[in-house]
Structure 1
Amino acid sequence: MSGPHGTLVGMSAPTPTPVAQRRRPSGLLLVALAGIAWGTIGPAVQLAHQASGLSPSMLGSYRAAAAAFVLLVAAAVAGRLRECWVLGRVHARPALAVGSLTAAFQFFFFLAVVWAGVSVGTVIALGLAPMLLLVLKALRSRAFPRLGELATVAVALTGLLLVSLAGTEVSAAPHPVPGIIAALISGTAFALATDAAVPLSRVLDPFALTVITMIVAAACLVPAGLVVAWVNAEPLGTTDTGSWLMIIYLGVVTMALAYGLLYAGLRTTSSANAVVATLLEPATAVLIAVLFLGDKPTVASSIGFFLIIAAIATLGRRPKRPVADGTPDEVIVPGSD
C-alpha cells in the first residue's frame, strides 16, 4: 500500500516474510513480460512502415504520443490526475531523468538500426546495457562481480549475438560509424534509465511512475521525430487506417503497458537483472518472425534463443545466506552460491 506521496507503507519489517520471498520471482516475470511486449515492436513497425511510408522515427513519435494520451485518460478516469501531477513535482529530478533517458534510448536506437543496420544496432544497444550495469554495481560495492553474475551476462549476450546475427544478412549500413555511436548512446541511456528507475519504483506505485515518465518521454520524442522527418523531407502523416491502429497498439501495449510492467518488476528486482530479462525482446521478435512472417530458424539462432531463456532462468535463484538489511526489496543476485 502506498502513502499520500506514493511512498511504500509497511515495508520496514526487520526480517523478510515468506510472502515477500515469494514475490521475488514475480518481479522478474513482470520484466520478462515487458520484454515480450517490446519484441513485437519490430514486426509492428515494419508492417506500419510498409503500409504508411512513415519513417521509424515518426512512428516512434506517434507511438509516444499515443502512450501519453492513453495514460492521461486512464489517470483522469481513475481520479489520479492531480495526484500524478503532485508526485511528478515532488520527484521532479529523478522523474525527468528517467523519462528523458528513456526517450534518448528509443530515439538513438531507431537511428542506430537505420544507420548501422538492425542486427548491429540491436546487439550493441541491448548488449551494452547489462555490461554497464554490472560495472556500475561493481563500482558501488567496490567488489569484483561474482562468477555467477559474469556467467549469466555472458550466456545472455552470447544468445543475443546468435539471435541477432546468425543466419541473417547484415542490413545495409549507410552510415556505420554514426550508427555505432548512436547504438552506444542508446545502450548507455537504457542502462542509466533502468538504474535510475529502481529507487523511483520503490517510492512510487507503477501506474503513477509510468504516467509521469512516459509523458516526459513523449515530450522529448514527439518534437524530435517531427524535426527528423522535416529535415529528411519525410511524410508526417498517413491515410492508412491499419497503420494508425498499429500505432495505437504500439503506444498502448509496447510503451504504456510494457513500461508499467517494467516499473512494477523493478520494485522487487535489480536493474542489472532487469536488463538481462528484457533480452526476451529480440528473442520474441525472432519467434514472431518464424511463426507469423515465414522466416526459417537456423541452428545458431535457435541455440541463441534458448541461451537467453537459460540466462533469464538463472536470475530467479536466491542467495543461500540471509540478506543484510532484511528488506523485501533486496536484489536477487544471479547465479549466487
Structure 2
Amino acid sequence: MKHPTLIGIAMALCAAALWGTTGTAQTFVSAQASPYWIGALRLAIGSVFFAACLLVGRAGHFAGGQGLRTVWRWALLAGTAVAIYNLSFFAGVKATGVAVGTGVAIGSGPVWVGLLEALFNRQAPRPVWWLGTALAVAGISFMMMAGGADAQVNVAGLGLCLLAGLSYASYTIVSKHLVGLTTPTMATFLVFSVAAVMAVPVAALVSPPWVNSAATWWMVTYLGVVVTGVAYLLFSHALRRVSAATCVTLTLAEPVTAFVLAIVVVGEQPGTLAYGGLALVLLGLLCVVWGETRPQAAGSLP
C-alpha cells in the first residue's frame, strides 16, 4: 500500500519545514551568541525532549529481540555523525559565508547518501531520484547565489561543509538501521544524548562564554524542542516508511521554508534568480516523491 509511504514523505517534509525556521529564529538574538554553543545546547535540549517523550509514551522497547549493546553501537555511530555535523557545519559556514556554506552542506547531503547506499547496500537509488536530486540541488544553488555576496573562497571552509554533508548522510543511513532495532523515540534519545555529550565540551573549549540572556535562551529552547526534538522525531519515523535517499532529498525543502520566512518575517525581496531556483527545488522534490510512490517493476529504470 502507498499510504505508509505517503505518510513518511509528509513527515520528512514537515521535518524539513521545521529545520527551515532555524535561520529566522537566530535573527532575533544577539550576533555575539556563539554558533558552537547554539549547536551544542540545542542537542542537549533535544535530548531532554526525547527523554520526556520516552517517559510519557513508555516507548523504550527494542524490536526483534535486539540487545542493548547492539543498539548502543549503532547509536554511538549516529550520535558521532550528528556531533560532527553540528560542529563542521557551523565552522564551515563561518569560514565560507552563509550562502555558499549552507548550499554546499545541504546540497551535498543527498549526493553523499546516494553514494553511500550504492557502496554499502549495493543498491543505488533509482534514476528518477538522481534526476530529482540534481534539479533540487541546482535550485538551491540558484537560491543561495541570489541571496547575497557573503561568499568567500575558503578551501578549508568548503571541506568542512562537505564533511557536514557527509556526516548528515551517514547519520541518516545509520538511523535507518537503528529505527529497525528500536523505536524512533528511543533511537533519537540515544543518538542525541551521545551527540550532546560530545558537542558540549567542544563548545566550551572553542567558544567564548554563552551569552546569558532571555532572548538567547528562548531561541535555543525553540531550536532544541521544535527544530531538533519534533523535527528529528518526525524524520526518524519517516525513515521507517521511505528510503534514506528519499528522506535526505526531501529535506531539501528546508531552504524553501527559509525562503518564505525571509520574505514574510524578515522582509527580504528575492530576485528572479531566487524564484527560478525555488521552482527547480519544487520540481525536483516532485520527481523524488513520484519515484518513491511509484512501484518498481523488475528491470525498470525508474
TM-score by length of 2: 0.90
Amino acid at match of 2:283: A
Q: Which amino acid aligns with 1:151?
A: L
Give distance in 1, aligned partners of 2:58 and 2:128: 46
**Which residue of the other structure, out of 43, 49, 53, is the alignment partner of 1:74?**
53
Match of 2:168 in 1: 190
Match of residue 60, structure 1, among 39, 53, 63: 39
Residue 307 of structure 1 corresponds to 280
SS state of the match for residue 203, structure 1?
coil
**1:163 counterpart = 2:113:** no
The letter of the residue matching 2:45 is A
Match of residue 45, structure 1, among 26, 30, 54: 26
Query: What is the aligned-residue identity percentage?
Result: 28
Mean alpha-carbon deviation: is it higher for 22-31 or for 129-138? 129-138
Which residue is 1:102 aligned to?
A: 82
1:22 deviates by 1.4
- Relative distance call for 1:315 and 1:87 in structure 2 (3 A) is farther
Cα displacement (A) at 1:284: 1.1
**Cα separation, 2, equivalents of 1:68 and 1:27:** 23
> 1:91 corresponds to which residue?
71
Q: Partners of 1:147 and 1:83 in 2: how far apart?
A: 35
Contact 1:129 1:275 in 2 (8 A): yes
Judged with a 3 Å threshold, the aligned counterparts in structure 2 of structure 1 residues 322 and 151 are, in CA distance, closer, same or farther, namely: closer
Q: 1:128 aligns with which of 108, 111, 117?
A: 108
Report what 1:4 is aligned to: none
CA contact (8 A) 1:112 1:183 kept: yes
Seen in structure 2, the aligned counterparts of structure 1 residues 222 and 82 have a Cα distance that, compared at 3 Å, is farther
Using the TM superposition, give the Cα deviation of residue 79 of structure 1 relative to its aligned residue in structure 2, in angstroms.
4.3
Secondary structure of 1:306's aligned partner = helix
User: How far apart are the structure 1 equivalents of 2:154 and 2:258?
Assistant: 23
State whether residues 72 and 81 of structure 1, in contact with CA within 8 Å, keep that contact through their aligned partners in structure 2: no
Determine the C-alpha separation between the residues in 1 that align with 2:53 and 2:130. 41
With normalisation by structure 1, the TM-score equals: 0.81
Unmatched tracts of structure 2, length 5 or more: none
Please state if 1:268 is matched with 2:241. yes
How far apart are the structure 1 equivalents of 2:166 and 2:193? 21
CA, structure 1 residues 218+140, in 2 after alignment: closer, same or farther (shift >3 Å)? closer
Question: Helix, strand or coil for the counterpart of 2:148?
Answer: coil
Q: For residues 239-281 of structure 1, give each alpha carbon's deviation from its aligned partner in whole angstroms, at most 9, with x where no partner exists.
A: x212211111000001111110110001011111111111111
Which residue of 176, 183, 199 maps to 2:177?
199
- 1:252 partnered with 2:232: no
SS at match of 2:27: helix
Q: Which has the larger radius of gyration?
A: 1
Q: Give the SS at the match of 2:30.
A: helix
Aligned-residue offset at 1:91: 0.7
RMSD: 2.5
**2:243 matches 1:243:** no
In structure 2, the CA distance between the partners of 1:87 and 1:114, relative to structure 1 (3 Å rule), is: farther
8 Å Cα contact 1:61-1:226 kept in structure 2: no
Displacement of 1:116 in angstroms is: 0.8
Q: In structure 2, what is the equivalent of residue 5 of structure 1?
A: none
How many equivalent pairs are there?
298
Flag the 1:190–1:299 CA change in 2: closer, same or farther, 3 A.
same
Aligned equivalents of 1:143 and 1:71: distance in 2? 32
Q: 1:320 to 1:78 in 2, by over 3 A?
A: closer
The structure with more helix, counted as a fraction of residues:
2
Whichever residue aligns with residue 40 of structure 1, its letter is T
8 Å contact kept, 1:49–1:56: no
